[in-house]
Amino acid sequence: MTVLSYTAVTQSGRTFDIEFPLHPLTRSSDGVGEVVTALLDALSREANAGKGLSDGDLIQALTMALALRVQMSGGLPAQMRGLICELYDSAHAAVQAAASQQAGHA
């Protein structure tokens, strides 16, 4: 199985080294990584823009955007829901298994 190696760094400097399993039909692992980075950067910008957004607000916005993007894809609703659940469960497991450390420490 192909994986996307991804390092996330929190504002507090904590890092997470994640091995995301990619769906077999993934066309561009580099592109997937770039979109993840762009989404996280956009979330950080909005969170720091003084709008009083909570993590829950950001998660709600992401799920709304996901639902809209799925509708725009034209896939069958039941199949797309199954795919979303499969992809989320896989990504969630990868994040839970990720090595974490404080940046600047080996």
pTM score of the predicted model:
0.86
Helical residues (DSSP H) of the chain, grouped into ranges: 29-47, 55-73, 77-97
106 pLDDT exceeds 60? Answer: no
Give the pLDDT score at 96.
Answer: 96
Give the pLDDT score at 8.
Answer: 94
Domain span at residue 53?
3-102
Q: What is the pLDDT of residues 18-74, one digit of tens each?
A: 999 999 999 999 999 999 999 999 999 999 999 999 999 999 999 999 999 999 999
The H-or-E segment that residue 23 falls in is: none
**CA gyration radius for the chain?**
15
Give the pLDDT score at 14.
Answer: 92
Number of separate domains in the chain: 1
Three-state DSSP class for 19? strand
